[in-house]
A and B are shown apart, each in its own frame.
Chain A
């Protein structure tokens, strides 16, 4: 009798743990898939946001951010070098909030070369990218009006004509 109860307790615990684990995975995947990014840092917003929007750290894996921060003096054709203290603070913020799951793969230097990005934008016509109002695939805000606030919700996308 005692043994049966013990077995049941073990069963319940095993079930509970597995359910929690599965639930955790689901939540984790859903969060990794979220299109709204709220992590923020004053230095990151000011420095990374002066020539383009401050791209959310979640859009690239930590390895990519390390590569980018190591080459700021030759940043896609421009010198974007920082003082050491700012670089250290921004680098730590980027890595702490870097992408996971589908956004954590490889170490692309450009967000637009990430596999998830290409997949997400595969129905955008070539002519839309060439529109002078868009100018560059780096110009997230051309179609995602809330980009500068970290809001990339699919439902709010408006591709300019």
Chain B
């Protein structure tokens, strides 16, 4: 009896450790919360994210040729198109594409890459949170 419980516990622990379980866990709001904690730690005067600031950030260039909207368009509730390859990109707005911002590692991977392409540096937590606020504010 003890033994079977022990194995059941191991099985449960093992399945929880499967990547599939981890990635399904997050919601856009939860991911934004982690950016909020980082932003507050960086600047104690931080007073929350702004969808409006996020929209400006999203559609402006930052010293390089591309802005976020070059590929993701200025209407991120609609599909975008990769500026170089022409490949379709699914909508970024969470209302239009519920899979967006549900996998923290994937979100970080793309912010890391795309911020380097668009800004030539990593994005600050405040910038990431603003962009999320913007993309979460759009309706279908």
Interface, chain A (partner B; CB < 8 A): 51-53, 73, 76-83, 135-136, 138-139
Contacts and interface: CB of A to CB of B under 8 A. Distances in A.
B112 interface: yes
8 tightest Cβ-Cβ pairs between the two chains A and B: A135-B86, A79-B113, A79-B116, A52-B85, A51-B82, A79-B117, A78-B117, A139-B86
Contacts of A135: 85-86
Contacts, number: 35
Interface of B: 82, 84-87, 109, 112-114, 116-117
Nearest to A46: B106
Contacts of B117: 77-79
Contact of A78 (B86, B109, B112, B113): B113
A136 B87 CA distance: 10
Contacts of A82: 109
Residues of A contacting B: mostly: loop
Contact of B85 (A79, A81, A139): A139
A136 B86 CA distance: 8
Nearest to A134: B86
A77 B84 contact: yes
